[in-house]
Amino acid sequence: MRSGLTVAECMAAIIMIIMPTAYLIVPTAVLDFAAQDAWISTIAATAIGGGIAAWLGWFAGRNGDGESFLNWLSGRSGRAIAFAGGLLLAFHFFSHASRALNEYISFLKVNVLPTTPNAVLIAVTVLLAMYAVGQGIVTIARICFLMMIATVGIYTATIVLLYSRMHFSYLQPIGEKSIGHIAAGAFTPVCWMSEAAIILLIAPFMAKPRQAPRAVIWGVLLVGFMMMFIVLEALMLFGPNVVKFLQYPSFELISVIQFGGFLERIDMYFIMFWMVTVFLKISLLLFGAVHCLEQTFRVRGGRQLILWAIGLLLTLDASFSWPENFEMEIEAFAKNVSLIIFNILVPFVLWLASYLKLGRGSKKAEEGRT
Amino acid sequence: MKLVKPAAALLSIVLLAGCWDRLELNELSITAATAVDWDEKQQWVVSYQVVIPSAISGAMGNMKGGASQSPIIVYSTHGPTIRGAIQQSTFESPRKLFFSHNRVVVVSAEAARRGLEPLIDSYLRNSESRETVDVLVTEESARSILRQLMQIQTIPGEGIYETLRTENRLFSALPSVNMYELALQLLGSSHNAVIPEILISGTPEVTNNQMMGNTSLPSKLRLGRLAVLKEGKLAGWLSQDEALGVAFLRNKVERTNISAPCKATEPTLETSVRVERADTKITPVRRGDELTLQARIVANGTLLETNCSLDLEESEALRQLESQVRQRIIEVVRSGYSATQQLQADVIGLADRVHRKYPKLWHEVEPDWAARYAQIPLNLQVEFTLKRVGLSTKSFKKQFGQEED
Amino acid sequence: MQKIVQYELAAGIFLVQVGSSPLFLLAKPAGRDAWMSVLLALLAGLLLLAAVTLPIYRREPDSSLAELLLAYLGKWLGGAVTAAYMVYFAYQSVRNVREFGDWMLMYLLPTTPLGFVALVMMAVSAFAVYKGPEVFFRVALLIAPGVTLMYGLLYGPIFFSDLFRPEELQPALEHGLRPVVMAALPTVVSFPFGEMVLFLMFLKYGGRSSLTSRTTLLTFLFAGLLIVAANVLLIGVLGPLADTSVIPLLQSAGLFKMVERLDPIVLLLLFVGVFMKQTAYYLAAVLCMAQLTGAKAHYFIVPVGALIYLGALGFRSYMQQVSVGFKYNLVYHFPIFEVAVPIVLLAVMLLRSPKASAMGE
Amino acid sequence: MRGLGIRLPFLKRRDHSGRRNGGGGNGGGRGPGGPSLSRQLQANLNAIRRELGDSSDLTIRLIRDDSGRVLAAVVYIDGIVIFDTINQMLLSPIMERVHELSSGRSSLSAADMRALLEAGTIQLGRVRETYDLSHLIEELLTGSTIILSDGSSVAFAAATRGGEKRSVDEPSSQTVARGPKEGFTEDVQTNISLIRRRIKSPLIRVENRLLGKHTKTVTSVVYMKGIAREEVVEEIRRRLSRIEVDSILESGYVEEFIQDEVWTPFPTIQNSERPDAIAAGILEGQVAIVVDGSPFVLLAPVTFVKFFQSSEDYYQRFDIATFLRVIRMVSFFISMLLPSLYIAITTFHQEMLPTPLLISLAAQREGVPFPALIEAMLMEVTFEVLREAGVRMPRIIGPAISIVGALVLGQAAVQAGLVSAAMIIVVSFTAIANFVIPALNMAIAARLIRFAMMLLAATLGLFGIMSGVMILLIHLVSLKSFGVPYMTPLAPLKISNLKDVLVRAPWWLMKTRPSVISTEDRVRQAPGLKPGPPKDRGERGS
């Protein structure tokens, strides 16, 4: 059978592209809006995200025979559209990779390595991502699968260790927050879940591209489930008021674990695993950018060149676009909106284009194929 | 695959460039306890109890000859803010202050009266200082608490932590409050919190190692009363009995010891019972806009000692004992509750429960909650069963008496 | 077919009889003359065994009590009485589990929850029951020598040391014979000595050898004498304290110089005794259900086990369990099962012997 | 023949190809276009002497008829032939027949000689005719005996290979507590016979080839038709035939030439000295490469997990085997990561240590001059030196040196305050953990990676270790061994194969072969073999 990605590996890739930085940012965002009902907004977000994922999966699944997404697109809706689409997607993946890198580095600087210069951290991460992309998406997806199993294991471990300290009463009074708040709370997770759009690029690499929808829906549901878990844990441990106070509640959770005399201060172990998942996320995004550029400019064999160029650009962009703190709020909102635009609107326009020009584009494609 | 060689080259260059966050073990000064005072010059005085590793693990004595050097040293720094004060330490300490293993933060009453918000903020903000440290308050200067040595536990910071934990497990009157629990209580609906008190009983203070030789020390570290914080500021104290009552109401009693008289009429306490389990359910009950506190305690325990002449095989005698113990628990809980009412400080989490049960009512009541809390009557029900009476079926007094007649 | 060798049967009887009874001072109301009422009860039990229990066995050697009841008292009445017996056996097991649980809490594990200790005991018994009577009696054979040795080691030195003051036993019969008889008959007969009815369920596995009834009698006598000796010792050593302490033997063991602070080991002795008794009753209850419904025994292990476990935790406190046991069960409930019903069964068997025995084959 | 173009590489090529024909790189009976034999016996003998430079162990026995005329000659190289077989089987029968035949004619023709041979007078097995000198020399060098007759240009080569062979005895490297004690020897025939004796199935295929211009080592590819994947076998044949080298003295040469990935510390080809391990591999679909002159037989394709399966796992009961395998897996990670984790935690993330441990470590490190990394490197290098010394020393005192050395040196270093005691414990435990890994080449991989990880740990702490682990993971998952993904049952998840990875499922559960290496029909066992006493064991308490 063709050696491609299985559904599980593809699902793991989807999880690994959303989860790492979402793990960092979503709890604070959701809890700011819908304090003790935050977990309801995560459920709402999962529902909406699931819908988007289903559509993306269906759209990706339609090109069945493993031809890369942009070629398939140019075949169906003409080269100009494919070219523009490719460029837009490449830019999106690139800017999103740099943002993820930014958040990752800022977290590391606070918690793990305060005095190591940014350049070193960024250089190591980008080099790693380039090496991973050099090995191809199949390898990355397989590692994502291994890491997914590890992450699920760790989540259950946190729940078991923190169970004794949780107070269910902090969740009451349920439903105090208005629907508006809950919906606002759900906005950020939905933006993050829209990153599942990478399925469009990954689907051709699957052993059976027809199963793309199943993979991406399962991926988004699992991510939604994990997010709900974190929010619930944070709420039940710290209560709605203290959580708003903390910047990284998901890691604060773990630093509170005290079990027996020796199992204390073990948040470093969780950060270790979380770092690997971030490496995977950045390499997936880098793959997206490189793949799109490679397809749009029809560069055969120039993979190494593109890879190095993009890597360098990413290092520069990440280290200089250090946002000043005061406009963090606007900055975060703008980035969320950009996620929505590129992950949902652009694919929608591409689908529309492929649908409208079906006559001319597909005839040529039909002749081409027979 | 051409990518590997350049990547490896680059990576090695990065590595050779040096290591920034490296901190050797012998460049650390491990603090076991920290103390925060507010001196008259309106400055924060932060003192640190730094552990001398070589003095403690004598096993490695071959290096230092193991002269009986005191296991800890204490020094303090001043500064406008807490973190500012901590930075001052770089002027005098050869090593970097390391707070991760800090067990206890002792706050002086003066600083507590001024408010603990800056302390909590500095602890929750920095990743280096853990928020699972226990918070204690002391009447005199917090610095003197740090200097006091202990006999059984070489590191006093650890010693205080262990004492609090054991007390919490065996008598449960003074709860061990760590930083994030303190934040939790203060940010709760009632903005009140309780912290255990620590004090040095007896004089003079034991601060040098030589005095450790003799069998009993002139002064010892002891847990005292329970401090009550209103809006983050020290408002008053509760005695140990009242603290036990509050602990019952906050359902924090794991194990405790109750002594009770033989009969309601006789005042002298003759029986001692160990309470092994106590579950408390407190619920606000609303009639109109009148609020009453409904509390129900279900507890069971074992008889440790009795001097009333009873034949414990008869269930009548058992019932009498159980009723006396129940009476005693009711007294303790009522005294605790009324003490908090006098201080107008709702430390038992009643505000949160009202907020959860009657959200609408809560918004009306919230502004003057402290005053309202002082008026809320307590409707208390206690059930106590005596599970076991130990090894002998009759009280010795009864047996003694029977022999004569 | 399950087969129990003679020695195993003897060991089983010895352990169930001796079990935990030597640890208690029986017939407390009789005060200083308690050992006499125990002796009296022993003779009564012997009579009951020889006149009632063994004849039943000899008439139908290869059918158990439950089968006999069903055969002789007809389907409905027999069924009801068997069910009653099942409850009786289960209740006996309940008392043992609860008693042992409380001792364990008092002595070794003060803060462990009672439920957990009882659960562990029940699990071990369930495993033994699952393996069946043959294995159970073989285990008894393995353990019996150890138990006898332990009792010997404990009693021997105390008897011959200055601790044992025979003069404590004087003045004998100070209050006349009546309290001795009153103390002996209802309670002491039903507690250790009346429990032989349990073995009506197991004798059928002893094979048809004629020795079975002889071994039963001999072992019963030996065990009874051991209990009497224990009581004499307790009164001798503890004197007035005997009736106040809950587990007198442990107190006396503590006093003895050489054997100081060996209470935990004595408690292990206790564990074996109680375990054998509790499992025997549990097994009897399961066999009753199996023979009553005809289904295989496995199905009933868990339900009966759960019943016993919940029963054990049902008591409000240890003192309630003791008072209920001594005041009501031993006086009113147990004699019915241990004395009345066997006599009635024997009578019915004698009357309808020809027809019934044919059906019994 | 190609045109005479003057391009330089072409020139080199022709010379190259020339040599190839001469060298007979790929052996076999052909050898077209070499100098052919002459009809005069003497001329041929002179040619042979010239070719072999008159080396002293070349022996030529002339066969004369009664009148003293030389009829034929028997040529062989002393030492690599079995002399007494030549004597009995070859010389004496020829001598007798010669007397009968030579009564009449003056010279024996080729036909007579051939008739002589076929008549069975010479009972030797493989006898081959050759026409050209180069092939004759080749046969001579591989231990055959050549029979030349005067007046005919045909020579006969009889296989009389012999020479001293080591007898089969216990393998020195992969010893097992329970399992066969037979090990491979240097002779390829014996090795293949050892395999054949274990797998008596007609499906076994043995393909021989000669490698190395001068050494002409016999390399045989052994696999089972229908079980090993056809494309894998084809790939191995292709890679073997590419090897054009002067000498192949050990299977290690072949391994380096045909391995998949050059820049990797991880072995992609498994080697073993135990016939039962090789037989097991072949039965599971792997291809064995037996190289003459080396007891180590190669097995390909191989996955990461196979290096943790020692053959003893299949002889012990499954619960012990599972336990041992878990320990092997754990010790692999310990031997790779423990020192770096120690450095990272003690120098970057001290808060992870429980307080008493932190204080005792701090006390130990009080007087130590070096930072943790240097200290660790110092001790690691010392241990490696000691281990290498242990191996190089003669058999008896070898292990003694390494153990005693380690203890004494360690203790002295701690006394002198150069190194902290904890570091000694960590480093020595890592060294010992490394011995647990059954396959030597995987153990060495772990040792190499350990140093890289230590460097990363010293600069970036756990972040460094994590990136190191990440690089390792990417490299491993992308590695392939003859087309089979290296991390098979884990990375591309094959649930059915997981039964023999971390856990060795009991035998009656191992119904199918690992799916990735063998072909489609994978059932190797009848179902329902679960052992157990007869069903009715006496009803229980009925």
In a domain, C1, yes or no: no
Same domain, D429 and D319: yes
Place of tokens 């392939």: D480
| Mean pLDDT score, D70-82 | 81
pLDDT given at position B382:
94
pLDDT given at position B246:
93
C313 touches B: beta carbon within 8 Å: no
Chain C residues in contact with D541 by the CB 8 A cut-off are 2, 129, 132-133, 283, 286-287, 290, 297
Residue B82 belongs to domain spanning: 26-238
In a domain, C70, yes or no: yes
User: Closest-CA residue in chain B for A243?
Assistant: B184
Q: Which residues pair with D290 in a beta bridge?
A: D220
In a domain, D163, yes or no: no
- Rounded to whole angstroms, what are the CA distances from D202 to D199, D224, D289? 9, 9, 19
Place of tokens 């309290």: C179
Sign for the pseudo-dihedral over CA of C315, C316, C317, C320: negative
CA of C286 to nearest chain D CA: how many angstroms apart? Answer: 9
**pLDDT at position D334 over 90:** yes
Distance CA C82, CA C63 (A): 14
- Residue D267, sorted as left (phi over 0), alpha (psi -120 to 50) or beta, turns out to be beta
Here the tokens at position A91 are 């830019």
- Rounded to whole angstroms, what are the CA distances from A68 to A71, A74, A296? 6, 10, 11
Tens digit of pLDDT for each residue in B50-93? 998 888 876 444 444 444 678 889 999 999 998 888 888 888 88
Instruction: Let me know how long chain C is.
Output: 361
Sign for the pseudo-dihedral over CA of D415, D417, D421, D426: negative
* A241, A251, A267: best to mutate for the B interface, most B CBs within 10 A: A241
**pLDDT at position B159 over 80:** yes
Chain C residues in contact with B313 by the CB 8 A cut-off are 319, 322-323
- What total number of domains does chain D contain? 3
Final residue of a structural domain among B191, B211, B238: B238
Q: How many CA atoms lie within 13 A of B320 on its CB side?
A: 17
- Give the 3-state secondary structure of residue B396: helix
Cα D327–Cα D330–Cα D332 angle in degrees, nearest 5: 110
pLDDT given at position A308:
78
CB contact under 8 A, A131 and B7: yes
Distance CA C250, CA C267 (A): 8
CB contact under 8 A, C287 and D541: yes
With a CB cutoff of 8 Å and minimum separation 6, the contacts of B334 are: B245, B378, B380
Same domain, B40 and B135: yes
The beta-carbon neighbor of D455 closest among B15, B63, B103 is B15
| Mean pLDDT score, B192-205 | 89
Residue of A247, A194, A252, A199 whose CA lies nearest to A63: A199
The 10 Å Cβ neighbour count of residue C350 is: 10
Enumerate neighbours of A (3 or more CB pairs within 8 A): B, D
User: Closest-CA residue in chain B for D456?
Assistant: B15
* D261, D459, D465, D474: best to mutate for the B interface, most B CBs within 10 A: D459
Identify residues of B whose CB sits under 8 angstroms from chain A CBs. Answer: 1-4, 6-7, 10-11, 14, 17, 20-21, 100, 124, 127, 130-132, 180, 183-184, 187-188, 352-353, 355-357, 359
- What total number of domains does chain C contain? 1
Final residue of a structural domain among B220, B238, B256: B238
Task: Write down the mean pLDDT value for chain A.
Answer: 80
Confidence of residue A335 (pLDDT cuts 50, 70, 90): confident
Same domain, D151 and D220: no
In a domain, D192, yes or no: yes
Place of tokens 């394709």: D301
Please say whether the beta carbons of B111 and B38 come within 8 A: yes
Confidence of residue A320 (pLDDT cuts 50, 70, 90): low
In a domain, B340, yes or no: yes
CB contact under 8 A, C297 and D541: yes
Final residue of a structural domain among D302, D330, D346: D302
Same domain, B225 and B244: no
In a domain, D257, yes or no: yes
Cα A312–Cα A316–Cα A317 angle in degrees, nearest 5: 115
Same domain, D364 and D476: yes
Same domain, B224 and B244: no
Chain B residues in contact with D458 by the CB 8 A cut-off are 19, 22
Same domain, B227 and B332: no
Residue D243 belongs to domain spanning: 188-302
pLDDT given at position D298:
93
Tens digit of pLDDT for each residue in D207-217? 998 888 888 88
Confidence of residue D6 (pLDDT cuts 50, 70, 90): very low
In a domain, D539, yes or no: no
The beta-carbon neighbor of D460 closest among A116, A265, A269 is A116
| Mean pLDDT score, A249-264 | 78
Distance CA A266, CA D163 (A): 67
Final residue of a structural domain among B238, B269, B285: B238
C131 touches D: beta carbon within 8 Å: yes
CB contact under 8 A, D540 and C130: yes
In a domain, D244, yes or no: yes
The beta-carbon neighbor of C106 closest among B314, B315, B390 is B390
Q: What is the 3-state secondary structure (H, E, C) of A239-256?
A: HHHHHHHCCCHHHHHHHC
Same domain, B302 and B226: no
With a CB cutoff of 8 Å and minimum separation 6, the contacts of B138 are: B106, B107, B108, B109, B145, B197, B198, B199
Same domain, D434 and D464: yes
A64 touches B: beta carbon within 8 Å: no
CA of A81 to nearest chain B CA: how many angstroms apart? Answer: 32
Chain D residues in contact with A261 by the CB 8 A cut-off are 354
Tens digit of pLDDT for each residue in A204-215? 888 888 888 888
Task: Identify the helix (H) or strand (E) that includes residue B77.
Answer: strand B72-79
Here the tokens at position A93 are 């993946």
Same domain, B246 and B201: no
CB contact under 8 A, A139 and D478: yes
Confidence of residue D540 (pLDDT cuts 50, 70, 90): very low
pLDDT given at position B138:
93
With a CB cutoff of 8 Å and minimum separation 6, the contacts of D531 are: D508
- What total number of domains does chain B contain? 2
Same domain, B216 and B308: no
Residue of D317, D256, D240, D309 whose CA lies nearest to D280: D309
| pLDDT tens, per residue, chain C with 361 residues | 566 778 888 888 888 888 777 777 777 777 777 888 888 888 888 888 888 888 888 888 888 888 888 888 888 888 898 899 899 999 989 988 988 888 888 877 888 888 888 898 899 899 988 888 888 888 888 888 888 887 777 777 777 777 777 777 777 777 777 877 877 777 777 777 878 888 888 888 877 667 788 888 888 899 889 888 888 888 877 777 766 666 666 566 555 665 566 666 677 777 888 888 899 999 999 988 888 888 888 888 999 999 999 988 888 888 888 788 777 777 788 888 888 888 888 888 888 765 444 444 4
In a domain, C15, yes or no: yes
Place of tokens 């996620």: A339
pLDDT given at position A1:
38
pLDDT given at position D538:
46
- Residue D143, sorted as left (phi over 0), alpha (psi -120 to 50) or beta, turns out to be left
Tens digit of pLDDT for each residue in A283-318? 999 888 888 888 887 766 666 777 777 777 777 776
The 10 Å Cβ neighbour count of residue A251 is: 21
Residue of B315, B323, B316, B311 whose CA lies nearest to B398: B311
The beta-carbon neighbor of B100 closest among A172, A265, A308 is A265
The beta-carbon neighbor of D493 closest among A6, A269, A276 is A6
Place of tokens 């980008």: A126
CATH number for the domain harbouring residue B312: 3.30.300.210
The 10 Å Cβ neighbour count of residue D147 is: 26
Same domain, B360 and B279: yes
**pLDDT at position A138 over 90:** no
**pLDDT at position B380 over 90:** yes
Please say whether the beta carbons of A249 and A28 come within 8 A: yes
CB contact under 8 A, D352 and A266: yes
Enumerate neighbours of D (3 or more CB pairs within 8 A): A, B, C
Cα B298–Cα B303–Cα B304 angle in degrees, nearest 5: 130
* C-alpha B6 chain-centroid distance: 58
CB contact under 8 A, A238 and B355: no
Enumerate neighbours of B (3 or more CB pairs within 8 A): A, C, D
CATH number for the domain harbouring residue C144: 1.20.1740.10
Cα A191–Cα A254–Cα A221 angle in degrees, nearest 5: 35
User: Closest-CA residue in chain D for C290?
Assistant: D542
In a domain, B148, yes or no: yes
Please say whether the beta carbons of A306 and A299 come within 8 A: yes
In a domain, D517, yes or no: no
User: Closest-CA residue in chain A for B165?
Assistant: A261
Residue of D93, D53, D90, D89 whose CA lies nearest to D75: D90
Tens digit of pLDDT for each residue in D310-328? 888 888 888 999 999 999 9
pTM (predicted TM-score): 0.80
> What are the structural domains of chain A?
7-369 (1.20.1740.10)
In a domain, C331, yes or no: yes
In a domain, C312, yes or no: yes
Distance CA A71, CA B26 (A): 61
Same domain, B211 and B256: no
Distance CA A250, CA D20 (A): 69
CB contact under 8 A, A172 and B356: yes
With a CB cutoff of 8 Å and minimum separation 6, the contacts of C230 are: C21, C22, C23, C151, C155, C249
User: Closest-CA residue in chain B for C321?
Assistant: B313
In a domain, B318, yes or no: yes
CA of C103 to nearest chain B CA: how many angstroms apart? Answer: 9
Same domain, D444 and D368: yes
The beta-carbon neighbor of C319 closest among B312, B399, B403 is B312
**pLDDT at position D8 over 50:** no
Distance CA D58, CA B279 (A): 103
Confidence of residue D331 (pLDDT cuts 50, 70, 90): very high
Here the tokens at position C61 are 């050697």
CA of D338 to nearest chain B CA: how many angstroms apart? Answer: 18
| Mean pLDDT score, D129-158 | 80
Same domain, D324 and D447: yes
In a domain, B260, yes or no: yes
D9 touches C: beta carbon within 8 Å: no
Enumerate neighbours of C (3 or more CB pairs within 8 A): B, D
CB contact under 8 A, D541 and C1: no
* D229, D473, D482: best to mutate for the A interface, most A CBs within 10 A: D473
Cα D18–Cα D24–Cα D27 angle in degrees, nearest 5: 155
Residue of D167, D144, D165 whose CA lies nearest to D156: D144
Of the two residues D254 and D112, the one the predictor is more confident about is D254
User: Closest-CA residue in chain B for A236?
Assistant: B184
Same domain, D206 and D85: no
Same domain, D356 and D450: yes
What does the buried/exposed string (b/e) look like for A332-353 if buried means 16 or more CB atoms within 10 Å of the residue's CB? Answer: beebbebbeebbbebbeebbeb
The beta-carbon neighbor of B184 closest among A176, A242, A265 is A242
Task: Identify the helix (H) or strand (E) that includes residue B295.
Answer: strand B290-305
Same domain, D347 and D477: yes
The 10 Å Cβ neighbour count of residue D33 is: 10
Q: Which residues pair with D218 in a beta bridge?
A: D210
pLDDT given at position D541:
42
Same domain, D138 and D192: no
Say whether the A–C interface has 3 or more Cβ pairs within 8 Å: no
In a domain, C349, yes or no: yes
Tens digit of pLDDT for each residue in B337-366? 999 999 988 888 888 888 888 888 888 888
Residue of D125, D124, D112 whose CA lies nearest to D72: D112
Tens digit of pLDDT for each residue in B212-237? 778 888 888 999 999 999 888 898 99
pLDDT given at position D116:
66
Chain D residues in contact with B158 by the CB 8 A cut-off are 355
In a domain, D509, yes or no: no
In a domain, D178, yes or no: no
Distance CA D355, CA B32 (A): 9
pLDDT given at position D525:
80
Same domain, D196 and D150: no
Please say whether the beta carbons of D504 and D510 come within 8 A: no
Same domain, D351 and D439: yes
Final residue of a structural domain among D485, D503, D520: D485
Same domain, B299 and B207: no
A164 touches B: beta carbon within 8 Å: no
Residue C206 belongs to domain spanning: 6-360
Please say whether the beta carbons of A65 and A353 come within 8 A: no
Final residue of a structural domain among D281, D302, D323: D302
